[in-house]
Structure 1
Amino acid sequence: MTPPKPEASFYDNPVIPGFHPDPSVCRVGEDYYLVCSSFEYFPGVPIFHSRDLVHWRQIGNVLDRPGQLPLPADAMASDGIYAPTIRHHDGRFWMITTNVSHGGNFVVTAERPEGPWSDPVWLDLPGIDPDLAWDDDGNCWCAFAGAHGPSFSGVQIARVDPDAGKVLEGPFPAWAGTGLQWPEAPHLYRIGEWWYLMIAEGGTERGHTVAMARARSPRGPWEPAPVNPVLSHRSTNHPIQSTGHADLVTTPEGEWWMVLLATRPLGYSPKFHVLGRETFLTPVRWEDGWPRVGPVNVRERAPGGSQPVEALPQRDDFDAPELEPRWISPRSRPEGSWSLTERPGWLALHAAGATLDRPGVTFVGRRQSHPESRTAVLVDPSAGRAGLSVRMDEGHHYDLEVADGQVGVIARIGPLRQVTATRAVPPGPVTLVITTRSARRWPEGEQEPSGLHVAAPDYVAFHVGDDPEPLAELDGRYLSTEVATGFTGRVIGMYATEGTAWFDWFEHGPLEEHGSLEEHGSRAEQARP
């Protein structure tokens, strides 16, 4: 008797939620490794591990030392590190990327994906979004985008020595895409007798697409796919938009999959995406020598194979000797600005800048990973000024701040800064809570916050302790890419702008998993020292 087939399993997209754009992936045996762009944040290039392409755990950051990631103190938001590529070749891991704020394109290597990764080897190549691929003779080919010459604008290719940072041949024009703007994000693959060149074009907004070409050699000539783009959600009402900047990977069983960036816009037209560009996964099939992809669905049939890796906890009690790799800071994190040893079990933040409106502030945060979320901290502000902030950049952030016996909500929207509400609090530690809730799921029978409209993608509410009544509720559209511009998403974190503040714990997770504010407030009060 033939045993019954196991029931198919499914997964939900995105597989890495929150601001994790420009994914690149490689497989070593049964292990998958993935990296993303980090822009102006330090440490840079988060690296993830998975055994099934669905469940990912961050195991570190490729650029975790200041010497690997030189960023000027005044580097613009959304500058910094663009579009890394990760590959495994000849027993080593290779990561190539662009620092658009300092130095251009460079390569780092490591024996183990957790690191340590080498110091940068700089390549004398223009452009952005570099890629590495090796042929059967051991030659290394680098494709890159954004190089503009007198007669060609598109993807170029060069033969390089990545260990020495030398260009051995080229660069020469490869493919300018199908005629859409910004042909970029090139990846080269040797598949059978063909070399395939996959690119993104149409811009990283709603017109984003994935296109393909192929040639017998990296030198070309390149033949476009008979049907391009091979993936696009443009001009559709699909809940997932901006699909592009993709990379291909095979399973040990020979299945093909694609990781890519996309967004989940909400609200009224033109809609707003607040979490940034996220990492999605979709299956790939091959027909007549070309990949067929999409649409990318919210729920997909999962690949077969290995068990998921253990996920990192959503709460950090700051009991470890080092900060977890998920913690990021704008541009740098000087050693003197933070400590885990001054008060064991607490994170100490020492003010370096006086305002979140300018670079140089002491800020430690995590990417917002859930559209409907709850973030809470227990902070002892001492005699300083500190709080919890939802940040897009210096010109767009909402802050829940405690100082001088008062808790206040501050809204910075472009040139406008407003303190929307304040409340007195007793001396000592205080629990600060920020929640986000989608406007389309506003409870029936309840009125929306005064003056707000369903056009908002979400509402951001600010609570003190276990009080279910918010101190303020603000329209989330002003902390979206469509308003703030740029390439990043929301980061929620702790900050100090005066003196020293201590944080006992921090947690961030889906709103529905935390129960009521009253229930969690009681638990938070019980946790106080």
Structure 2
Amino acid sequence: MGEDYYLVTSSFEWYPGLPIYHSKDLMHWEQIGHVLARPSQLNLKAGLKHSAGLWAPKIRYHEGVFYVICTAQQAGGNFYVTAKSPAGPWSEPVFLKDAPGIDPSLFFDDDGTCWYTGSINGTKNQDRYPNEDRIYIQKLDLQQGKLVGERKVISTGHAVNAPFAEAPHLYKIGKKYLLLVAEGGTWNNHAVTAFMADSVMGPYVPGIANPVLTHRFLGKQADITTVGHADLVQTPEGKWWSVMLGVRPLDGFTMLGRETFLTPVEFQNGWPVFNPGVGRVLSVEKATGIRPHPFPLEPVRDDFDTPELRNCWNFLRTPYTRWFELADGKLMLQLRPESVKEPVNPSLIARRIQHFNFTASAMMHFKPAREGEEAGLILMQNGANHYRLVKQRRHGKDSLLLYKVDKGRQMVMASLPYKDKQVCLWVVAQGKSYRFYVGSQPEKMMALGEAQDATINSSNHAGGFIGPFIGMYASSNGQKSGNKVSFDYFEYKEGAAFPLQVRKHSLHEIAVRDPYIFPDEKTQTYYLYCATRQKADRPNGKHGLKMYKSRDLKTWEGPYMVYESVDSEWADASHGIWAPEMHEYKGKYYLFATFTNEKSPLPQQFPGRPFLHRRATALLVADTPEGPFVPLTGKPHTPADWMSLDGTLYVENGKPYMVFCHEWTQVTDGTMELLPLSEDLYTPEGTPVTMFRAKDASWVQSLDMYKGKEVEGYVTDGCFLHRNANGKLIMLWSSFGPGGYAVSTAVSVSGSIWGPWKHRPSPLYGEHGGHAMLFKTFDGRLIMTLHYPNGGAEPHARFFEMKESDDTLEIVRELDL
């Protein structure tokens, strides 16, 4: 639809049905609702089996009307609905009683005729080989809501023994009709095949290059498997793209179910070529060439302060009565006899698990009234395969219990007597394992049991087509009950964030390198951001970023984990994250942080020089200073083939820039670089421009040793920009001088970020400490903080009151904190 794109996906036995997404660039998507959001539209009643329900929806547009057509397996068959707007409301379904099979699709020809295609299966007496499904075509009379005219089979697959021909889509490319079909079944042999015809009724000739897309030849070890069920879309510029389903396995296990992927398509000699020059779907694809249009991130925490549930929440089968309530910032569930172990609609509200590594938590208030009543969190593939972390009255005692249900067999994995009504429940997922924690407050958590096997929730183990869900659950287990449970919040975020022991600290008790202070005027709170250093901060071995907060700069509460690293090409979670800098910009909060991956070498290495590997500055974003933060783009802003670090944000005349350091390890004489950013900070604009080199400052000396080897290198570190009361633009930065690691200043001669830069002749602070920044206290004092010492003992933050002179800064005194 012009510059707007809409996507619908299967929802199986979950209600509301068919989530619908909107994009402006095919890369960023926001959910705008569900197609089937009223019980009258979707009859997913008791008895509906796991992974039945809504299969393979397609969305089409014709003459001012949007159409979604879908299969309701075990729930009425094939149907379509219409709407004037993709956001709805959508009509009641029109069921096509004379449309056999599954996977219906619509195609509107040039003359306005609506053609229906579908897949007929289960015709064993006619099959030449097992599962020889048939693709058929027939006119759909939209006025009568039924198929009319001749029904014709137009394909049974591209070759003999090409089973499970499904998901047909028709397109008109020039004067030819293109038919795309899924084949091979929706597991590792899944594929996309193409057929061409001169007439809409055929005959359809299979392409000589079939299958035009598959990952079956990559084997089970591929990073993406099960690729197929493709649809095409053309941009206003005439470029073609395809969406399709696929699976990202983890050590062979389908931990997240099917996901949607995007790949470019070109037409060559009239036939579609998927990802030309590559021939497969990639886990990270090139940009679409459309101006990026990111949407506001969905908050990771739901405080239940909206009139209706957010779009991410789902019910298991259709809820015909309202057994939940949103009121006063709480979600309340009524305890009912229904159990998740039965094919019913239990008191359960859940969301998709989207990450291999994630953290989820909830604050619950619940007092069981009788034996068997339970409420808590659930992580489930289905009723026969799940974990429940619940408070329950069992054998006359209120306890916290961890239940594991594996292929229908229920086991208690851990228990703890617990009388308080309030309890915080916490789950940490790391790949193929779950860990469960409980406590009265998030700061007072304890582990409940050992690490548990998460693969029982994989579709390999549990069966079905979908990924697991996590959410809130309550049941009276067969008894009538008037009891309720309430939840203050539910939080789900990427990354395995283990509970930290939050407590009060003096500044000198906090080990910190590269400290950064963000004074929040709104809350009159100082936030200290730093990287995890001590093993207690990272019990899972992964590095991250933590935060402390204070009202007076003396007493600090924390640590709070605001981001935990995940593995990628440019970041290894077992290596450090450096130098987080917090910046408020256009109502959002951004952390500029340095990520490193020593396992990913740069292409060019230099004999006798330090090993060069991925190191870059990337941006994280959150809605509040307390996070949690998520990657803004999933990739760094600094050049991919540079070793870069210590990026900071500076805005001049409304234009945002990143200033960062190009590592001496790569260029010997380290540089300070300027990189313009887009207004939304999402993309770099152009290439970096060198502002100055380390040796431009007369006080800078070379390193003598690096990792036990003699080396020559001039360091640029820790840049921070400050415009003083006289309008002069001053940069704090660090390097090595006569007294070791040091901080000095440079001033822009022009007064602009573009320089040129005049350097202070000697360090501002030269006593084995550095990486400084400036902030103002709430009473107006200008403070510099840095870490000291730079080597040997654990570093700590030191605070200095500063005085501004014409074109530099001077230390007045160190604060006694």
* TM-score, L = length of structure 1: 0.86
Correspondence for 1:43: 16
Q: Residue deviations 1:379-422, cap 9 Å, x none?
A: 11133520101111110011111124311110000132100101
Tell me how far apart the structure 1 counterparts of residues 337 and 459 of structure 2 sit (CA, whole Å).
25
Given that residues 147 and 156 in structure 1 are in contact (C-alpha distance below 8 angstroms), is that contact kept between their aligned partners in structure 2?
no
Correspondence for 2:280: 295
Residue in structure 2 matching 1:171, options 122, 140, 151:
151
The residue type paired with residue 392 of structure 2 is: A
Deviation at 1:518, TM superposition (A): 3.8
Tell me how far apart the structure 2 counterparts of residues 508 and 163 of structure 1 sit (CA, whole Å).
45
Please tell me whether residue 482 in structure 1 is matched to residue 476 in structure 2: no
Correspondence for 2:543: none
Residue in structure 1 matching 2:266, options 285, 300, 303:
285
Correspondence for 1:450: none
Correspondence for 1:34: 7
Please tell me whether residue 473 in structure 1 is matched to residue 447 in structure 2: no
Please tell me whether residue 314 in structure 1 is matched to residue 288 in structure 2: no
Given that residues 241 and 262 in structure 1 are in contact (C-alpha distance below 8 angstroms), is that contact kept between their aligned partners in structure 2?
yes
Bigger relative contact order (CA 8 A; separation at least 6): 1
The residue type paired with residue 41 of structure 2 is: Q
Residue in structure 2 matching 1:492, options 460, 470, 474:
470
Deviation at 1:515, TM superposition (A): 6.7
Task: Say which SS state the counterpart of residue 281 (structure 1) adopts.
Answer: strand
Tell me how far apart the structure 2 counterparts of residues 34 and 155 of structure 1 sit (CA, whole Å).
23
Deviation at 1:226, TM superposition (A): 1.0
Please tell me whether residue 362 in structure 1 is matched to residue 355 in structure 2: no
Correspondence for 2:418: 425
Tell me how far apart the structure 1 counterparts of residues 120 and 153 of structure 2 sit (CA, whole Å).
11
Q: Relative to 1, partners in 2 of residues 1:68 and 1:400: Cα closer, same or farther, differing over 3 Å? A: same
Q: Relative to 1, partners in 2 of residues 1:77 and 1:148: Cα closer, same or farther, differing over 3 Å? A: closer
Tell me how far apart the structure 2 counterparts of residues 284 and 177 of structure 1 sit (CA, whole Å).
21
Correspondence for 2:59: 86
1:11-410 pair list within 5 angstroms: 28-123=1-96, 124-149=98-123, 151=126, 153-178=133-158, 179-236=161-218, 237-267=221-251, 271-293=252-274, 294-306=279-291, 307-341=293-327, 344-358=328-342, 359-383=344-368, 384-404=373-393, 405-410=398-403
Q: Residue deviations 1:107-154, cap 9 Å, x none?
A: 100111111000011112001110001111110001111345564731
Q: Relative to 1, partners in 2 of residues 1:203 and 1:372: Cα closer, same or farther, differing over 3 Å? A: same
Q: Relative to 1, partners in 2 of residues 1:400 and 1:158: Cα closer, same or farther, differing over 3 Å? A: same
Task: Say which SS state the counterpart of residue 300 (structure 1) adopts.
Answer: coil
Structure 2: segments with no counterpart, 5+ residues: 128-132, 477-482, 503-545, 547-557, 562-625, 627-817
Deviation at 1:352, TM superposition (A): 2.4
Given that residues 300 and 491 in structure 2 are in contact (C-alpha distance below 8 angstroms), is that contact kept between their aligned partners in structure 1?
yes
Deviation at 1:426, TM superposition (A): 4.1
Deviation at 1:155, TM superposition (A): 0.6
Q: Relative to 1, partners in 2 of residues 1:522 and 1:403: Cα closer, same or farther, differing over 3 Å? A: farther
Provide the identity percentage. Answer: 40
Tell me how far apart the structure 1 counterparts of residues 499 and 284 of structure 2 sit (CA, whole Å).
28
Tell me how far apart the structure 2 counterparts of residues 78 and 228 of structure 1 sit (CA, whole Å).
30
Task: Say which SS state the counterpart of residue 70 (structure 1) adopts.
Answer: coil
Tell me how far apart the structure 2 counterparts of residues 467 and 180 of structure 1 sit (CA, whole Å).
54
Q: Relative to 1, partners in 2 of residues 1:118 and 1:163: Cα closer, same or farther, differing over 3 Å? A: farther
Q: Residue deviations 1:147-175, cap 9 Å, x none?
A: 45564731111111134212122321011
Given that residues 28 and 294 in structure 2 are in contact (C-alpha distance below 8 angstroms), is that contact kept between their aligned partners in structure 1?
yes
Task: Say which SS state the counterpart of residue 322 (structure 2) adopts.
Answer: helix
Q: Relative to 1, partners in 2 of residues 1:175 and 1:402: Cα closer, same or farther, differing over 3 Å? A: same
- Is the deviation greater in 28-37 or in 460-469? 460-469
Q: Residue deviations 1:496-525, cap 9 Å, x none?
A: 11331111111111115x57544599879x
Tell me how far apart the structure 1 counterparts of residues 366 and 162 of structure 2 sit (CA, whole Å).
52
Q: Residue deviations 1:211-238, cap 9 Å, x none?
A: 1101112200001111111111113142
Given that residues 379 and 502 in structure 1 are in contact (C-alpha distance below 8 angstroms), is that contact kept between their aligned partners in structure 2?
yes
Correspondence for 1:25: none
Task: Say which SS state the counterpart of residue 477 (structure 1) adopts.
Answer: helix
Tell me how far apart the structure 2 counterparts of residues 163 and 425 of structure 1 sit (CA, whole Å).
62
Deviation at 1:276, TM superposition (A): 0.7
CA RMSD of aligned residues (A): 1.9
Correspondence for 1:507: 491
Q: Relative to 1, partners in 2 of residues 1:291 and 1:518: Cα closer, same or farther, differing over 3 Å? A: farther
Deviation at 1:310, TM superposition (A): 2.3
The residue type paired with residue 353 of structure 1 is: P
The residue type paired with residue 62 of structure 1 is: V
Deviation at 1:314, TM superposition (A): 2.0
Tell me how far apart the structure 2 counterparts of residues 335 and 523 of structure 1 sit (CA, whole Å).
40
Deviation at 1:309, TM superposition (A): 2.3
Tell me how far apart the structure 2 counterparts of residues 202 and 147 of structure 1 sit (CA, whole Å).
13
Tell me how far apart the structure 2 counterparts of residues 218 and 411 of structure 1 sit (CA, whole Å).
53
Task: Say which SS state the counterpart of residue 259 (structure 1) adopts.
Answer: strand
Deviation at 1:102, TM superposition (A): 2.2
The residue type paired with residue 288 of structure 1 is: N
Q: Relative to 1, partners in 2 of residues 1:518 and 1:200: Cα closer, same or farther, differing over 3 Å? A: farther
Deviation at 1:335, TM superposition (A): 3.6
Give the structure with higher Rg (CA).
2
Deviation at 1:489, TM superposition (A): 1.0
Tell me how far apart the structure 2 counterparts of residues 487 and 162 of structure 1 sit (CA, whole Å).
31
Q: Relative to 1, partners in 2 of residues 1:163 and 1:487: Cα closer, same or farther, differing over 3 Å? A: farther
Task: Say which SS state the counterpart of residue 456 (structure 2) adopts.
Answer: helix
Tell me how far apart the structure 2 counterparts of residues 333 and 509 of structure 1 sit (CA, whole Å).
27
Given that residues 385 and 501 in structure 1 are in contact (C-alpha distance below 8 angstroms), is that contact kept between their aligned partners in structure 2?
no
Deviation at 1:459, TM superposition (A): 0.3
Tell me how far apart the structure 1 counterparts of residues 280 and 380 of structure 2 sit (CA, whole Å).
32
Tell me how far apart the structure 2 counterparts of residues 380 and 289 of structure 1 sit (CA, whole Å).
63
Tell me how far apart the structure 2 counterparts of residues 163 and 72 of structure 1 sit (CA, whole Å).
29
Deviation at 1:209, TM superposition (A): 0.5
Given that residues 402 and 448 in structure 2 are in contact (C-alpha distance below 8 angstroms), is that contact kept between their aligned partners in structure 1?
no
Q: Residue deviations 1:329-360, cap 9 Å, x none?
A: 1112244311113xx11111112234321123
Task: Say which SS state the counterpart of residue 115 (structure 1) adopts.
Answer: coil
The residue type paired with residue 383 of structure 2 is: E
Deviation at 1:53, TM superposition (A): 0.8
Q: Residue deviations 1:71-97, cap 9 Å, x none?
A: 221111111111000011111110000
Structure 1: segments with no counterpart, 5+ residues: 1-27, 439-457
Task: Say which SS state the counterpart of residue 483 (structure 1) adopts.
Answer: helix
Tell me how far apart the structure 1 counterparts of residues 150 and 367 of structure 2 sit (CA, whole Å).
60
Correspondence for 1:447: none
